[in-house]
Amino acid sequence: MNVLDKFSLKNNVSIVTGGAMGLGKAMAEALAQAGSNIVIADLNLEEAQKTADEIKRKEGIEAITIGVDVTNETQVNTMVSEVMNHFGKIDAVINNAGITCLEKAEDMAFEDWKRVMNVNVNGVFLVSKAVGNIMIKQQKGSIINISSMSGIIANTPQGQSSYNTSKAGVIMLTKSLAMEWAKYHIRVNTIAPGYMKTELTKPFFEENGDMVKTWMSLTPMGRPGTPDELGGIALYLASEASSFVTGSVFSVDGGYTAM
């Protein structure tokens, strides 16, 4: 097989949680460009539908939307059932839905701590479990969890212990599921982005305040990433090009964690 053929996702079915905007949208677009049908799973159904319509129009694949709260097990199971009823299989899932909370540990309300953990860790587990049960029956599949370089290092100068801890949890969950499910030919990996410029964060970077200057001074490439720069690694992990890769952490951070 030609190596480029291994990147083809023709007739595949891929779910992207939090796929309506930003990083999730960019990764959904990349998988669609390789031929995968796409499920945009998001709380924001209106924006999700816009994204699905745009991808469908540009790439000529099937794209559907499903509203889901990844912290609600019933909704997650319903989402997976809807995908199976519609497509009959699930080849890949990108667990991208997540939240952050920039709050010093000494000031952080416990409810906020629990909310971050619930979305960022429990949400990834619930979706992985539901999809994993399908993939076990299929005897194949790829689960791609979006963690963060913040699960590897502690960011400075901001306080975000809850986010850092949750993303470290995603990394260990990834490794654990990879070990448990390798015998079912399920690959589980994680992408750990660094500071990324999305439509939501663009004004923040353009303001270029002291905190951003600190971030960029600690990033060897001296700039934030852009959403499309996650497309290549997402495609690699969703495709047969990464057939011998599982339990791995792929840092996409401009060199931040190399320092």
Helix (H) or strand (E) holding 215: helix 210-217
Q: What is the pLDDT of residue 199?
A: 84
Report the number of distinct structural domains present in the chain. Answer: 1
pLDDT tens sequence across 52-101: 999 999 999 999 999 999 999 999 999 999 999 999 999 999 999 999 99
* pLDDT at residue 226, rounded to an integer: 97
pLDDT at residue 139 above 90? yes
Note whether residue 259 is domain-resident: no
The CATH number given to whatever domain includes residue 154 is 3.40.50.720
Known catalytic residues?
A: 148, 163, 167
Dist. CA 21–CA 19, nearest whole Å: 6
Sheet-wide strand order for 37-42:
63-67, 37-42, 13-17, 92-95, 141-146, 186-193, 249-252
User: Is residue 237 included in any domain, yes or no?
Assistant: yes
Distance CA 250, CA 234 (A): 10
pLDDT beyond 90 at 259: no
Q: Is 43 part of a structural domain of the chain?
A: yes
* Residues 177-187 pLDDT 10s: 999 999 999 99
User: Residue 6 pLDDT > 90, yes or no?
Assistant: yes
Q: Which residues contact 97 (CB under 8 A, 6 or more apart)?
A: 17, 18, 24, 41, 42, 70, 119, 123
Please say whether the beta carbons of 221 and 160 come within 8 A.
no
3-state secondary structure of 102: coil
Residue 35 confidence (pLDDT)? 98
The pLDDT value given to residue 250: 98
What pLDDT, in 10s, does the model give residues 162-216? 999 999 999 999 999 999 999 999 999 999 999 999 987 888 899 889 999 999 9
> Domain for residue 30, yes or no?
yes
pLDDT of residue 109: 96
Helix (H) or strand (E) holding 16: strand 13-17
42 assigned to some structural domain: yes
pTM: 0.97
pLDDT of residue 135: 98
Per-residue pLDDT, 197: 95
* 258 occurs within a structural domain: no
What's the distance, CA 124 to chain centroid?
A: 9
Q: Which residue's structure tokens are 């030609």?
A: 2
Domain that holds residue 124: 3-252
Tens of pLDDT, residues 227-255: 999 999 999 999 999 999 999 999 999 99
